[in-house]
Amino acid sequence: MKKQYFSYQETIDFLNTAATLYPNLIKVQSIGETWEKRPIMMATISLDVANADSKPALLYTGTIHAREWIGIELANNFIKYIIENHQFNPKLQHALTLNTLYIVPCLNPDGFEFSRTHFSFWRKNRRNNGDGSFGVDLNRNFGVRFKTRADTSSNTYSGPSGFSEPETCAIRDFVESHKNITTALDYHSQGNVFFPAHKFNHEAEIDTTDLNTLCANMAFEIEKVTGRKYGIHRGKPPTNLINGSGREYYYNLGILSAVVEVGTKNIPDYMENMSQSVNENIPALVHALGSAISYSDLAPKRVDNFNIKELTENSVTFEWEYKNNDNIYFEIYRSVRHKSPCRDDNLVGITKSLFFTDVQLKSGRHYFYKIRAVEQNTKIKGPYAPEIKLKTLLAHDQYNKTLFPASQDIGYVGQYTEEKNHDHFGLNSLFIGVNKSRGICYGVIAFSLDKLPDDATIKEASFSLYPMNRVSAKIEGYGEWGLSFLDASSVPDIRDYNDIANATVIHSGQTIESDRVTQGVWSAWHLNAKERDILQEQLKTGTVLIRIDGPTLLPKGNDSQIMQFDIGYGRFGSGIHYRPNLDITYSRQPKTVEVYPTAVNTISENGVVSGSLQSGYDGNGHKIYGQLAFALHSMPDPEKTVITDAYLELENTNALGDKKDIRFTVELAEFEDINFESIKQRDSIQYIGYEVGNEQLRYKTQHIFDFDTFSRVELERFLLENKQAYFIIRATAALKNGQGELINWLNDPIHDKQAKLVIQYIERAKVALQAPSDIKTSIENGQTKITWENPKNKDLLGSFVVRNCFHPPRTPFDGVKIYAGQDTYTYDSFGNPNIPKYYSIFSYDDVPNYSIPACIHFSVKETIPVIEIDPEEVEVQGDENMQSSADNN
């Protein structure tokens, strides 16, 4: 027995004492009675508690599962924190002024006391089932998607009917009589993960962003205390979610709801682990309490039709709608990862307008945007509009490939599962780490690099895995997961444990510590320069072989430290949008062309001297211009030519007199006629390179004038419009002392000593293809089928299909990826066909440049049955030692 833990009677005594000492802050009541006649205690906490029921409220429930002691322990400590800090902590004061906390430390008092005093692993309540067994899993007994089970001895026995138990009836009756509850958190162990509620639609809901952001903001508060990162996992298709849970019951009433799985053991060492879990979760609860008002009728309404208006390489413009916005302003948040918090350091815009442009973005990068309305006077913040996901356009010289492994090239090998290792490939999950039944387990992924050209130069690369379950990583803060790049020639069989374990390691890369490997949030390894060099070298072999490593030893008394990652294949895989991937941005080796002038001129008030190239001042101090023209007909197809570098090379044959402060610039310009007046009235486009002065002219006769980005774009325009490129060499002086000072620029075509324009370029498509056409939808075998016609173009590589429930996706990344390839049809195998939605289809080439979207709105009037998998009737890959996350809450 660990004396640090509260008993249930000690909890009752603590609550009653607190209510007596702080009558304006805390009110205590029993909301029901258990089978064994224990009261189910609830504390109502708010400043001016007499009016608590008129304020938006957060509902906290703990220890619905008897052995998960964190719920009651955290509740008591949170109440203690409120008592000790409410008089001076401004954030807590603000939260308690505007909101109310309803807190049930233990929703399963009978089971908790049985776990505490008799059998620590007890999970259910203490109903006498009448057949020699006891207990109902209260988190299977709520009336939403209730499912009767015959095995009364099962840990997940759901009871004879929904709400058959006094505990679930008590919380049901309280919640249904308190319409002010906007948010509900149900505390469990274990996993260090949030499980937001689900409507079993396999689709994003209008408040999905609210759920994810609430959890992400709480996770951020947790991370500030201990550095531990909590995951956010909302479940995945097929349904594979529990039946009859409180979380879904609350959500079904319109309450934002989540399960919070804390720690890695149900009853951990108190001083080392439980105290940390308590301390890190208290600031998160303060945040959640303060946020309850944002989801109430007192908050501003949700922003409508938040969408992308324009997207470029380094900027994006959004637009949205909002009625009656006189006293409203808007906050816009930008993140580089999905399920990220919204806080001051990623608040990129505050505006009263109905549009916003975000600039200085990086090309070819993923970004995630959220927006909410704020009431100008009260500063009450509203709920979020559905998050927008986007990827900025690639820079002109960039290509991108996202590589996915073939099913036969991804799996795991276990030390003690030699006879099964071959079957682990292409099946459901990667198990990586160590446990007593499998031994050491490595993930293995081979990526074919054949889709990259031989002359590719890798600029950026990242490897991503989706962690779907960390329940079997049972040791807090132990071990790391990372990448090793293997010499593929040293591995005869990637399905053989010994071959993988003993492979030649080219490089062991970055690692992620146990406390920072999240569940439900992508783990990404951004390859550093050395790792990109390794990848570059692997282009010669056509394959990169990655081993995913975890801990290989177990401390005494422990049986498992394994992470489970999705592979996007198999019965329990989540499809292509959860498949591990290697994302590579690259350029290509440029070609070089040297262009010589078609004409050079010296132009002054006295006229034009053809074949001469001088610039400076005449004897009267009037400017003399040098002018060059270059024809670009030696360049390839302008529609597929990207200029990556360009410079103008000039040589001077003389220098200026001493102490002459005269400098020379080169301009790219456009003008009508080759005469002095036309040059003076020229349309100057851009300076080329930097000025050169007398010091450079005296000691360095060859000068390079580099084109900047804008100048290169303009040069491409000249090429596209079949125009000559004109340059003007112009003198400038600080004082009027330039009389008679002229520089002669070398122009000797006979001996090939003259000015030249050097251009480096790659051949790359710059214009997107036409969009697909003739989009149609239908229902086939209970799934949505989408068909279309691809444009007729030799550069077509395929079409990309994405769905979004809220607005037509204007980029391929704003929604759920359904398909990418050369076919003209696909099935939405993971969505619910009963939910209206938009499908957008984009054609793309090998860059890829994506077309404008072709979009269709889909809905059906009849109800389509959705095939579901019951997680409680499934063994996870046949190993009884591996629990699914659904079994755990």
**What string of DSSP letters covers 752-767?**
TEE-EEEEEEEE---S
Distances (CA, A) of 144 to 168, 247, 767, 834: 12, 10, 52, 19
CA 507 from centre of chain: 27
pLDDT of residue 806: 94
Question: Exposed e or buried b for every residue in 194-227, given b needs 16+ CB within 10 A?
Answer: bbbbbebebbbbebbbbbbbbbbbbbbbbbeeee
pLDDT value, residue 882: 41
Across the range 59-83, mean pLDDT stands at 97
| CA distance linking residue 1 with residue 50, whole number of Å | 39
- At residue 199, the pLDDT reads 85
* H helix intervals, 203-245: 208-226
Among candidates 360, 350, 561, 602, which has minimal Cα distance to 476?
561
pLDDT in tens, 385-442: 999 999 999 998 999 999 999 999 999 999 999 999 999 999 889 999 999 999 999 9
Q: What is the pLDDT of residue 390?
A: 97
**Hunting for tokens 């109905």 — which residue is that?**
354
pLDDT for 733 equals 84
Tokens of 410: 């991804």
Q: What is the pLDDT of residue 737?
A: 58
Bridge partners, 9 (sequence order): none
Q: Is 0.75 surpassed by the pTM of this model?
A: yes
Mean pLDDT of 206-223: 97
* Maximal CA-CA distance, the chain: 117
Pick from 429, 517, 521: which is nearest to 470 by CA? 517
Torsion angle (degrees, nearest 10) of CA 264, 266, 269, 274: 80
- What count of other Cβ atoms lies within 10 Å of the Cβ of residue 406? 12
Q: Which two tokens stand for residue 240?
A: 């594979």
Burial of residue 357 (CB within 10 Å: 0-12, 13-18, 19+) is: middle
CA separation for the pair 40, 108 (Å, rounded): 8
Q: Is 214 left (phi over 0), alpha (psi -120 to 50) or beta?
A: alpha
> Token digits for 792?
């007729």
What's the whole-number average pLDDT of the chain?
A: 92
User: If you average pLDDT over residues 57-68, what whole number do you get?
Assistant: 98
Contacts 24+ apart (CB under 8 A), 419-427: 421/495, 421/496, 421/497, 422/495, 424/495, 425/494, 425/495, 426/567, 426/569, 426/570, 427/567, 427/569, 427/570, 427/877
* Least confident interval from 321-325, 524-528, 607-611, 885-889: 885-889
What is the phi/psi pair of residue 784, to 5°? -80, 125
Report the C-alpha gap between 302 and 306 in whole angstroms: 10
Confidence band, pLDDT 50/70/90 cuts, at residue 866: low
Name 535's bridge partners.
Answer: none
For residues 582 and 544, is the Cβ–Cβ distance under 8 A?
A: yes
In this prediction, residues 788-803 reach a mean pLDDT of 96
pLDDT tens column, 356-377? 999 999 999 999 999 999 999 9
738 and 618 in contact (C-beta within 8 Å)?
no
Phi/psi at 372 (5° precision): -145, 155
CA 99/CA 47 separation, integer angstroms: 8
Q: Is 880's pLDDT higher than 60?
A: no
- Residue 515, CA atoms < 13 Å, CB-side half-sphere: 16
Three-state secondary structure call for residue 853:
coil
